Amino acid sequence: MTREEIHKNILWGAATAAYQVEGATYCDGKGKNSWDEYYELNHLGYDGDIAVDHYHHVAEDLKLFHEIGLQTYRFSVSWSRILPEGTGEINQKGLEFYDFIVDTLNEYGIEPYLTLYHWDLPLPLLKKGGWLNPEVIDDFLGYCRILFEHFKGRVRLWGTINEPASEVMEGYIQGTHPPQEKNYAHALQVSHHYNLASAAAIKMFHEMGMDGKIGIVLNPMPIDVLEETEDNLKAKKYAYDFMSDWYISPALTGHYPQDMLEFCQKTYGAPKISEEDYKLMEENIGDYLGVNYYMRRVVEAKNLHSDKIEDKFSFVRVPDGKYTKWGWEIYPQGLENLLKQIYNQYGKKEIIISENGIGFDDQADENGFFQDNERISYLKEHVEVVEDLCAQGFDISAYYVWSAIDLLSWTNGYQKRYGLIGVDYNTLERSIKKSGFWYKKFILGEDA
């Protein structure tokens, strides 16, 4: 397969999420959501009230995406902008905002990829128990139906739920995202509710005869060990089953990894799963699997005899590994290892690399230009892996740089930048970074 042939079968794009870019938290009828409340409660010194004010700069931003030559753009819809109470009355202004995005992208010939849920839950739904309350699944479906009906024929690529694993881990185990719980039983039940919500949305999408494709977006991490001792290999399996396969397996088969399921139900009494749940999940597998890839994890055995998952393994640093300031290892090979593991276990499946990128505190020079060479090297190394996988026969239909533009990093604020487009946070001026110009050339097939 030549590079040209590979590029014919894949769309190159970039991604954002509503809460991280839009700002305008109280404009035009938007309701309050879980993250609005989170920043109010936690006084972190930053919040999403302005973010990069994409809500008011949307025309300019989309124009810049076009200038970079993006072939596709992944964004999420803010549920509380559409339904301020989470259910009930529709806020037309909210729909109009996304109409503008979708129509402009289509005019530019940029394929819109709409994520239905990227973590910002309407506050009234959080107050009634959030994702732990199965009623929220029905509320989610009500919201999905509105968007399906409204964008039918205009949006062809859909994502159901972004990274349930992160929300489960950070929201219900570590307590660092809303609703800031530390409760394994709740975490496991919530993970199941996310899977049910995603399967039910996929069902509705197909029943409504929507054009295009829909799938869940996961962040499975490949797991390695430094030394292949018997104990470390057991720890590796626990870690992979709990953090990655716990989500991949239901997305591709409708079932949880059996050993881990038995362990969790015995230890934590969760998740509770009915026969109808299995039926729903088995019968509604996504058209593709969304994979967000940033890094691998390396683990070693801790206390394998403990009856708690958190005691069984710990994360270790690779002595000669390359890490970002935020401790994320740069390891492009991990993407290949991960997709190979998924294919070996489950067979061939269409994959969308729905996020990939590097966060660091890049600074503009005296002319306001971001010379983000580290980002270019990171992206180069990763798109090479993607091209290589395509050449080996992997079905990868799209790839998205995280992120199209600098944005709010949930618990790191604004210093950790990801964008191909830089934002001056004092003036909100935008400028294409060196990486944006590099990506443009890459998409055109002109880079070295």
**At a CB cut-off of 8 Å and minimum separation 6, what does 16 contact?**
54, 74, 75, 76, 403, 404, 405, 407
Segment interacting with ligand BGP, rule: CB under 6 A, options 22-30, 177-185, 295-303, 408-416: 408-416
The least distance separating ligand BGP from the CB of residue 307, rounded to whole angstroms, comes to: 29
Which of the residues 22, 163, 167, 336 is marked catalytic? 163
Beta carbon of residue 344, minimum distance to ligand BGP (angstroms, whole number): 25
Q: Is residue 163 within the footprint of ligand BGP (CB under 6 A)? A: yes
Q: Which of residues 298-357 bind ligand BGP (CB under 6 A)?
A: 355
CA distances from 217 to 113, 160, 263, 333 (A): 12, 7, 25, 20
Per DSSP (E only), the strands in 264-395 are 289-292, 297-301, 313-315, 351-356
Catalytic residue of the set 22, 167, 336, 355: 355
- Return the SS3 of 350: coil
Candidate list 180, 412, 415, 431; residue touching ligand BGP; CB under 6 A? 412
User: Taking CA 361 as the corner, what is the angle to CA 358 and CA 366, rounded to the nearest 5 degrees?
Assistant: 125
Of residues 241-280, which lie at the interface with ligand BGP (CB under 6 A)? none
Q: How far is the CB of 408 from ligand BGP (least distance, A)?
A: 8
Q: In what helix (H) or strand (E) does residue 201 lie, and over which residues does it extend?
A: helix 184-207
Residues touching ligand BGP, count (CB under 6 A): 14
Nearest distance from C-beta of residue 412 to ligand BGP, angstroms: 6
Could you give the CA distance from residue 390 to residue 437 in angstroms, rounded to a whole number?
A: 24
Can 355 be counted among the known catalytic residues? yes
Sequence-distant (≥ 6) Cβ neighbours of residue 410 within 8 angstroms = 20, 35, 119, 177
From 87, 106, 133, 166, residue interacting with ligand BGP (rule: CB under 6 A): 166
Of the residues 14, 17, 126, 190, which one makes contact with ligand BGP according to CB under 6 A: 17
The two structure tokens encoding residue 339: 């997709």
Question: Smaller CB distance to ligand BGP: residue 195 or 354?
Answer: 354
Distance CA 242, CA 252 (A): 16
Distance of CA 383 to the CA centre of its chain: 18
Is residue 362 close enough to count as binding ligand BGP by CB under 6 A?
no
List residues binding ligand BGP (CB under 6 A): 17, 20, 162-163, 166, 219, 292, 355, 359, 402, 409-410, 412, 416
